[in-house]
């Protein structure tokens, strides 16, 4: 699928495949994410420029190579403010996302997720999955507003505390039947 075929426009946003040139903007997304109180509910992301460039380049290559891993930049005008990742899982795709702090709470994530959900529905995808910490209220609200349903809970560990002990939290697995 070409970049043009994957580009989606909404009232305020352009959603398009990520590009290696997005690395500087993605550094800001990941830096904001890492500073967020909700960072403990997801795998760590390095915001070091060379690490971000390497990761964003891989994402762009995966997206161009097939449909198992698709990564979308979320852009009002031409500025990347966040991303959505779709990785094939079971019957559909597992999603993940992050947005710059200054653009949260403005409806951009919901607008993007609504458009991307419609895109995957048109392509015949039967289900989308998402996981998040149950105490990550903004993420839980976004998923519920988009129609996702909590289907199970699980104990999750991504980090260790200063003593080397696991930091355990309750995660939720959400599904959206398309």
What is the pLDDT tens value at each position of the chain, 178 positions in all?
Answer: 889 999 999 999 999 999 999 999 999 999 999 999 988 788 778 999 999 999 999 999 999 999 999 999 999 988 999 999 999 999 999 999 999 999 999 999 999 999 999 999 999 999 999 999 999 999 999 999 999 999 999 998 877 878 988 888 899 999 999 9
pLDDT of residue 158: 79
Return the residue matching tokens 């979308």. 72
Count other Cβ atoms within 10 Å, centred on residue 22. Answer: 23
Q: Report the CATH architecture of 3-125.
A: 3-Layer(aba) Sandwich (3.40)
Beta-carbon contacts of residue 88 (< 8 Å; ≥ 6 apart): 67, 68, 69, 94
What is the spatial distance between Cα 176 and Cα 115, in angstroms, rounded to a whole number?
A: 14
Strand order of the β-sheet with 92-99 is 8-9, 14-17, 69-75, 82-89, 92-99, 127-133, 166-177, 149-160
CA dist 78 and 91 (Å) reads 33
Residues in contact with 56: Cβ distance below 8 Å, sequence separation at least 6, in sequence order: 18, 19, 20, 22, 23, 26
Residue 178 confidence (pLDDT): 97
Per-residue pLDDT of 36-54, as tens digits, reads: 998 878 877 899 999 999 9
Q: What is the pLDDT of residue 125?
A: 98
How far is residue 153's CA from residue 134's CA, in Å, rounded to a whole number?
8
**Cβ contact 38:136 at 8 Å:** yes
Structure tokens at 118: 């419609």
Alpha carbon distances (Å) from 65 to 38, 68, 84, 121: 32, 9, 17, 21
């Amino acid at each position: 699928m070409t970049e043009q075929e994957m580009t989606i426009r909404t009232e305020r946003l352009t959603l398009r495949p990520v590009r290696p040139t997005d690395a500087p903007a993605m550094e800001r997304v990941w830096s904001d994410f890492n500073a967020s109180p909700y960072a403990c509910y997801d795998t760590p992301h390095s915001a070091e420029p060379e690490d971000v460039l390497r990761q964003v380049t891989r994402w762009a290559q995966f997206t161009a190579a097939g449909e198992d891993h698709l990564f979308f930049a979320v852009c009002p005008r031409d500025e990347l403010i966040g991303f959505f990742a779709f990785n094939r899982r079971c019957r559909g795709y597992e999603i993940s996302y992050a947005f710059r702090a200054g653009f949260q709470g403005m409806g951009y994530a919901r607008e993007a997720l609504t458009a991307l959900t419609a895109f995957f529905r048109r392509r015949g995808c039967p289900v989308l999955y998402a996981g998040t910490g149950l105490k990550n209220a903004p993420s839980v609200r976004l998923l519920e507003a988009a129609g996702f349903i909590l289907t199970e809970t699980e104990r999750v560990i991504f980090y260790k505390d200063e003593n080397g002990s696991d930091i355990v939290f309750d995660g939720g697995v959400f599904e959206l039947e398309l």
